[in-house]
Amino acid sequence: MSTSLYYDAAGYPVFPCGSSTKVFSPDDLNRLQHIFDDCLHECNFSIDSQAAESLGVAIIRLYSQGQRDGTFIKAALLPSFKRRS
């Protein structure tokens, strides 16, 4: 499955989400938290920053689209977010 990259006004990657509601299991939430924490650390973002919120949204969108590989998610997102840190 190929995912096209779209960017918001600030230049952060945005991944369109489908209209269906996603439900995450506790394991999913743990994976998402781990990915988010790793990305925050690499980008040196404050947890309460707008950049951290945008990063979290992008991670959840990719995950909602079925991408479960944390390494892929980080590789897809970090270059763009690191340029703005």
Query: What pLDDT sits at residue 5?
Result: 64
Torsional class of 67: left (φ above 0), alpha (ψ -120 to 50), beta (otherwise): beta
- What is the sign of the dihedral through the CA atoms of 75, 19, 8 and 59? negative
Query: Average pLDDT of 28-50?
Result: 95
In this prediction, residue 23 has a pLDDT band, given cuts at 50, 70 and 90, of confident
Q: How far apart are CA 49 and CA 44, in angstroms?
A: 11
Query: Average pLDDT of 35-50?
Result: 95
Top pLDDT among 45 and 10 is at 45
pTM given for the model: 0.73
